Every structure is written in structure tokens, then in C-alpha cells.
């Protein structure tokens, strides 16, 4: 099944859209030198939706497909200056936040969000790597809970992340606490469950609840959460309603994982631009 997304379906459409306005998505997150996750993953997922990514590096990292060795948060004042410059110049239509790096960056992004209240904000709360390495300390987690959650339009944690953020256990309990903290929408993914299918659950502050079941793919993937959150942000930038954007982005992400390829020794890299690769490589 082909993804039901907003990207052009033909080369003519791809060329045509280059002549038109493409919505800008501001992606704030860490730089993953493997390209599997982080800013490079964000940019690819946004590009796949025919939007355009401008990027804000919150942290440099030393890592490969097998795991993270070191993280180097960027100076908060530097992050703030670049963020304000990008917003003033490019007028993004959505903000996607991933790895935060430090408490100071949380406070800066919170202030900037308050200055742009109509900007949809999608938070992928990167609390650990795909191989289980912790990326936040108690101070950063507290800042995230106190200053950022209630400013987000959508938060996209997997279930372990949702449990860490809320101290609850079940998806319903986690969602209730997130919505109670001021989050407008919460998409809790089931990628880390030990189940035959991956069940993703969307909860809205207006009482909406939706569930999607996806066949579980056989490998471990580097950057699936970044891909999903950025794909949603791009669709919101195009003007999609939340439920439509979430449904479309899930289909796209599943296809990117299905077409994943190996770039290192461990986790596979999602093929976020799989639709641009000719099916017949001999032509």
C-alpha cells in the first residue's frame, strides 16, 4: 500500500511544486552523524512531505548505529539567537522539537513558543537512545515537565517515555496525565511493546481517542520516532487537521521502516526517501 501523504505522486508534480510555496518546518534537535536520527532524519521526513526544513542544532553527538558515546549540548544563547533568526527570516508553519540537550534550551524554546502561539509545536521527547542509553538527567526532565509539555500541540512519546514523563503505567493513564498537564494531543506509540502488532494511540484534550494497529517489522530501527514526529509536523505545516496528519504520517513512517536499509553494523536506517528511488535499479 502506498502512503496516503501530502507529497507529490509523480515527477511532474514534484517539479511543479518546486515552483510553488513550500511550507517551512523549523526542526530543533541533535545532530546524529549517522543520519539515522536527529536533524538529518527530520529534514528527510519533511522533504518527503514536500515541505522544507530549517534546522536548529541543540546538541552535537558522537554515535553510530550501535549507540551513543557522547553528547555535546550547544550553548543556550547560541541556540536562541539562531532560532530567532530562522523564525524572522523563514516564517515556519510548524516547530518540531527532538533532543533538547540542556535545561537552558528548554527554557529558551518555551519563551519563544509563547511569542508564537499560533505555531503548531510537535515534541518528540527523546529521553533515551534506541539502544536504551539515557539522554536526560533529573533536572532536564523536571524542566521538560514544568515548562514545555503544556506548550506543545502534540507530544509523541513511546510508552516507556510516556511512563517516565508521567509516573503512570498504562497508555490511558499516561495520556490522562499528559493532557492534564496541558498537552493538547498525545500520540503514545507501541514500538517498545512485546506484541505482534504495534498499537499507536492518539488522545485529544477534546476527548478524541483513536487507535491504529501496524504489523510489527522484524528489525531494530534508528530514528523511527524522529521520522514520525517530523512527518506529522510537515503535514500540520501544510494545514492538515491533527487526526488526518497523524494517520498519514504513520503510514509514511511504516513504509520508510519497511524499506529500511543498512548503513552500519547495528540498527537499520529508515528509508525516508524510498519513493524517490527507482524500483528498477537497472534503468
Identify the CATH number of the domain in which residue 113 sits: 3.40.1190.20
In our burial notation (b when 16+ CB lie closer than 10 A, e otherwise), range 213-249 reads ebeeeeeebbbbbbbbbbbbbbbbbbebebeebbbbb
Beta bridge partners of 204: 185
Q: Is 253 inside any structural domain? A: yes
* Per-residue pLDDT, 282: 37
Distance CA 88, CA 95 (A): 14
Which residues lie below 8 Å from residue 84, measured CB to CB, with a gap of 6+? 112
Mean pLDDT of all residues in 14-31: 79
Q: By three-state DSSP, how is residue 170 classified?
A: coil
Is residue 12 a part of any domain in this protein? Answer: no
Residue 169 lies in a domain: yes
Range(s) of the domain holding residue 263: 22-276
Given a contact cutoff of 8 angstroms between Cβ atoms, the answer to whether 198 and 190 are in contact is yes
Mean pLDDT across the chain, nearest whole number? Answer: 91
Residue 192 lies in a domain: yes
Nearest to 190 by CA among 275, 254, 98: 254
Q: Which residues contact 122 (CB under 8 A, 6 or more apart)?
A: 94, 95, 96, 97, 152, 153, 154, 155, 156, 229, 230, 232, 233, 236
What secondary structure does DSSP assign to 22-34, as a single string? Answer: --EEEEEEEE-TT
Give the model confidence (pLDDT) of 173-204 as tens digits.
999 999 999 999 999 999 988 888 999 999 99
| DSSP secondary structure string for all residues of 242-254 | HHHHHHHHHHHHH
235: helix, coil or strand? Answer: helix
Write down the H helix ranges in 102-241.
Answer: 103-115, 138-143, 159-166, 171-180, 224-237
Instruction: Kindly tell me if the per-residue pLDDT of 211 is higher than 50.
Output: yes
Lowest mean pLDDT among 4-8, 163-167, 261-265: 4-8
Q: Is the pLDDT of residue 48 over 60?
A: yes
Give 132-166 pLDDT, tens digit per residue. 778 898 899 999 999 999 999 999 999 999 999 99
Q: How far apart are CA 7 and CA 14, in angstroms?
A: 8
Asked whether residue 9 is assigned to any structural domain, the reply reads no
Say how many domains are in the chain. Answer: 1
Instruction: With respect to residue 166, please indicate whether it lies within any of the assigned structural domains.
Output: yes
Strands 197-204 and 121-123: unpaired
Residue 66 forms part of a structural domain: yes
How is the chain split among helix, strand and coil, in percent rounded to 5? Answer: 40, 25, 40
13: in domain:
no
**pTM, rounded to two decimals:** 0.92
pLDDT greater than 90 at residue 6: no
**Do 53 and 38 contact (CB within 8 A), yes or no?**
no
Amino acid at each position: 500500500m502506498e502512503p496516503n501523504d501530502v507529497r507529490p505522486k509523480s515527477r511532474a508534480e514534484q517539479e511543479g511544486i518546486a515552483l510553488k510555496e513550500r511550507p517551512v518546518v523549523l526542526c530543533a534537535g541533535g545532530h546524529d552523524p549517522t543520519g539515522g536520527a536527529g536533524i538529518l532524519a527530520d529534514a528527510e521526513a519533511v522533504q518527503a512531505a514536500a515541505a522544507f526544513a530549517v534546522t536548529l542544532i541543540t546538541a552535537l553527538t558522537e554515535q553510530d548505529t550501535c549507540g551513543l558515546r557522547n553528547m555535546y549540548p550547544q550553548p543556550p544563547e547560541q541556540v536562541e539567537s539562531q532560532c530567532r533568526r530562522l523564525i524572522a527570516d523563514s516564517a515556519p508553519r510548524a516547530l518540531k522539537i527532538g533532543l533538547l540537550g540542556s535545561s537552558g534550551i528548554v527554557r529558551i524554546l518555551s519563551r519563544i513558543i509563547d511569542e508564537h502561539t499560533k505555531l503548531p509545536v510537535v515534541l518528540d521527547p527523546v529521553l533515551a537512545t534506541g539502544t536504551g542509553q539515557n539522554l536526560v538527567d533529573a533536572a532536564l526532565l523536571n524542566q521538560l515537565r514544568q515548562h514545555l509539555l503544556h506548550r506543545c500541540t502534540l507530544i509523541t512519546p513511546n510508552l516507556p517515555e510516556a511512563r517516565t514523563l508521567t509516573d503512570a503505567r498504562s497508555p490511558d493513564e499516561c495520556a490522562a496525565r499528559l493532557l492534564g498537564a496541558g498537552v493538547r494531543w498525545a500520540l503514545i506509540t507501541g514500538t517498545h511493546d512485546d506484541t505482534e502488532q504495534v498499537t499507536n494511540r492518539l488522545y485529544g484534550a477534546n476527548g478524541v481517542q483513536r487507535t491504529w494497529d501496524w504489523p510489527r517489522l522484524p528489525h531494530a530501527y534508528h530514528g523511527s520516532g524522529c521520522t514520525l514526529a517530523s512527518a506529522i509536523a510537515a503535514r500540520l505545516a501544510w494545514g492538515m487537521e491533527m487526526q488526518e496528519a497523524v494517520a498519514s504520517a504513520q503510514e509514511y513512517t511504516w513504509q520508510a521502516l519497511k524499506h529500511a536499509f543498512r548503513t552500519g553494523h547495528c540498527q537499520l536506517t529508515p528509508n525516508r526517501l524510498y519513493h524517490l528511488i527507482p524500483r528498477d535499479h537497472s534503468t
